Amino acid sequence: MPTIKKHTSRPWLSEKKPFEGFVHHNTAFYQSTQWRRLRALKLSEQPLCEECLRAGKTTSAQMVDHIVPINKGGAALDMDNLQSLCNACHARKSAADK
């Protein structure tokens, strides 16, 4: 049975660095202590997904989402602009916002 080389040199392709992913322009904000504390407070006050609750389902929330996105003028640290969402609802809302 033939063996397949694990690493093949391809000089026409640039070398990949360990992580060259997209860095969100709000990354510094989302790593701040203020945001992390507010996020933890919101999840402790509302541990269930608010979208799922409106649909009559009970799902635990993993994300805290800005109702009006920061880059569209929403208040970054206002509790009234936050909602607890599960991953599926957050992905759906984020896709709709774009």
Residue 18 predicted with pLDDT over 70: no
Average pLDDT over residues 41-51: 97
pLDDT given for residue 1 in this prediction = 62
Confidence of residue 86 (pLDDT cuts 50, 70, 90): very high
Spatial distance between the Cα atoms of 67 and 57, rounded to a whole number of angstroms: 20
pTM over 0.75: no
Spatial distance between the Cα atoms of 83 and 31, rounded to a whole number of angstroms: 18
Residue 42 predicted with pLDDT over 80: yes
Confidence of residue 13 (pLDDT cuts 50, 70, 90): confident
Contact residues for 24 (Cβ-Cβ < 8 A; gap 6+): 30
Confidence of residue 82 (pLDDT cuts 50, 70, 90): very high
Confidence of residue 16 (pLDDT cuts 50, 70, 90): low
Tell me, what DSSP letter sits at residue 60? B
Average pLDDT over residues 40-59: 97
